[in-house]
Structure 1
């Protein structure tokens, strides 16, 4: 009679073990399937720019730089026209708007062509913390998928591209996105 009672309790134990393993491994399998097969992906977004989630880095844009903070990078594949200058101004204002977190971010400009002497002088006087880089136009064309307008990019401290904004971006939206990223991030 003891053997007859042992079989149901053994089955019950195996069932419990199976349920525990499924409870741990099941969500991981589901999440992997959702990511790989792109099903049940939420449509709602909390950011305003274009999310860059393909592993691109600053180097994929043709910018060779090392920065250990979050960066607001303005790229101008042609001359730095009115749109580019507006984005440079916006990047500085966003960094200032971060308040106590301003030290966690920097702003930079990457251009393919030399700046006009008037604008260069203005940058030296009014934007002393602006970092400047050269931009390789051939690499940029591949990395930015052929977009030849000025853009503002949010780049994480590891050099990964996070979000891209066109010249029509509203400063408040960009500031909210960057604050949200800084709040969630323990790096930089």
Structure 2
């Protein structure tokens, strides 16, 4: 038995209708019943909106390698060669994206490691400062994430790689730098 011409036309119309309505129905079901939507957060650090932009930080001589660089700023109230080495190793672990990140050590008496800028707090230390903390700042100088001194390096690396992946480098950025 073959389908009549009218039945085939109706079947095609129903299939076309299903192609456009099924995705909407599935999306509504996902939202309504929370199916396939992650419940937890994805970043290991914490967001602190009360932290002002880098330009407002009371620091001496803030420098980044490139204008479009992300910045790892970490606070060393004392000589802290372990923390400086830890963040230097994290920076190297970024591999081909390492050129997109600069490091800024605030305080400490040890000489700067390769690729690291050193600054010091001037005047009154801000209330939001936390000794041993690490901040990831975007290219415009806004604090994106903050980590306490006890954070695992692998967690920071995972978050930083995710930020760099979600914010790709402009295609001609390296040509402009040269």
TM-score range, shorter chain: 0.5 to 0.7
Counterpart of 1:45 in structure 2 is 41
Residue 72 of structure 1 aligns to a residue whose secondary structure is: strand
5+ long unaligned stretches in structure 1: 1-41
Contact 2:70/2:136, CA 8 A, preserved across alignment: yes
Q: Specify whether residues 56 and 168 from structure 1 end up closer, same or farther in structure 2 by C-alpha distance, changes over 3 A only.
A: same
Match of 2:162 among 163, 169, 180: 180
RMSD of the TM alignment (CA)? 2.4
Q: TM-score, normalised by structure 1?
A: 0.60
8 Å CA contact 1:87, 1:152 repeated in 2: no
Count how many residue pairs are aligned between Structure 1 and Structure 2.
129
Q: In the aligned structure 2, how far is the partner of 1:187 from the partner of 1:156?
A: 13
Unaligned runs of 5+ in 2: 1-37, 171-178
Q: Give CA-to-partner distance per residue, 1:114-159, whole Å, 9 cap, x none.
A: 61xxx33xx4xxx222111122251x42343xx3x22111111111
Alpha-carbon offset, residue 97 of structure 1: 0.7
Residue aligning to 1:153: 135
Change (3 A) 1:155 1:187: farther
Point out which structure has higher relative CO (alpha carbons under 8 A, 6+ apart).
Answer: 1
1:136 to 122, 144, 155: 122
Q: Which runs of 4+ in 1 moved over 6 A?
A: none
The 1:53/1:43 distance shift into structure 2, 3 A limit, reads: farther
Give the TM-score, by structure 2 length.
Answer: 0.63
